[in-house]
Amino acid sequence: MSGNYLGTDLRDLRFVFLEQFGLDELRQIDRFAELTEEDVVMIVEESDRQARELFAPVNASADHSSGCRLEDGQVRVPDGYKEAYDRFVEGGWIGLSLKGESGGQDIPNFIRVGSDECFVAYNPSLHTYPGLTTAAARVIESFGTEWQKETFLGKLVEGVWTGTMCLTEPDAGSDIGDIRATARLKDGKYYIRGTKQFITGGDHDLTENIIHLVLARAEGAPKGVLGISLFIVPKYKVNPDGSIGEANDVQPVAVEKKMGLKGSATVQLQFGDNDACEGYILGGEGEGLLLMFQMMYEARIGVGHQAMAMASNAYQYALRYAHERYQGSAPEQMGDPNAPRVPIIRHPDVRRMLMEAGAYVAATRRLISYAAHLIDQAWNMPPGREAKRIKTLYELLIPVAKAYATDRGLDVTNLAMLVHGGYGYVQEYPVEQILRDVKVTSVYEGTNGIQSIDLLLRNVLARRGKALKLYFEEVDRTLGRYRDNERLAALIEEFDAARAELVATTETLQGKRQTDLNHLLLISVPYMEMFGHLASAHLLLWGAGVADEKLQAIYAGQGAGDDDEKNAILERDGEARYYHNLVETTRFFVYYILPKVYGLARVIKRGDHSPMDMRF
Name residues whose C-beta falls within 8 Å of residue 609's C-beta, 6 or more positions apart in sequence: 518, 519, 522
How many Å separate Cα 458 from the centre of its chain?
21
Handedness of CA 287, 289, 290, 295 (dihedral sign): positive
Rounded Cα gap, residues 609 and 582, in angstroms: 41
Instruction: Reduce the DSSP state of residue 471 to 3 states and report it.
Output: helix
Q: Are 429 and 420 within 8 A, CB to CB?
A: yes
Which of 386, 571, 374, 586 shows the shortest CA–CA distance to 495? 586
Q: Is 283 helix (H, G, I), strand (E, B) or coil?
A: coil
For residues 576 and 582, give the distance between their C-alpha atoms in angstroms, rounded to a whole number: 10
Which amino acid would we find at residue 182? T
Q: Which of 285, 298, 445, 501 is catalytic?
A: 445
Active-site residue, 445 included? yes
Other C-beta atoms closer than 10 Å to the C-beta of 196 total 28
Closest CA to 488 of 540, 534, 530, 535: 540
Question: How far is 286 from 73, CA to CA, in rounded Å?
Answer: 33
Q: List strand residue ranges (DSSP E) for 450-573, in order.
A: none
- In the chain, what's the furthest Cα-to-Cα distance? 88
**Residues belonging to the chain:** 616
Question: Nearest-CA neighbor of 282 among 216, 202, 238?
Answer: 216
Beta bridge partners of 230: 215, 282
Q: Report the relative pairing of strands 250-255 and 266-271 from DSSP bridges.
A: antiparallel
Give the Cα separation of 266 and 269 in Å (integer).
10
Cα gap 361→8, rounded to integer Å: 10
Rounded Cα gap, residues 400 and 55, in angstroms: 29
Cβ neighbours, 10 Å, residue 443: 13
Q: Is 500 exposed, middle or buried (0-12, 13-18, 19+ CB in 10 A)?
A: exposed
Judge whether 252 and 166 are in contact, CB under 8 Å: no
Q: Which among 513, 514, 495, 522 is positioned nearest to 605, based on CA atoms? A: 522
User: How far is residue 57's CA from residue 60's CA, in Å, rounded to a whole number?
Assistant: 7
Chain-centroid distance of CA 533 in Å reads 17
- Short-list 55, 64, 47, 68, CA closest to 122: 55
Give the DSSP per-residue string, 146-162.
HHHIIIIIHHHHHTSEE
**Could you give the angle at which helices 348-379 and 574-588 cross, rounded to 10 degrees?**
90
Distance CA 406, CA 308 (A): 7
DSSP β-bridge partners for residue 71: 74
DSSP three-state, residue 266: strand
- Residues annotated as catalytic are 445
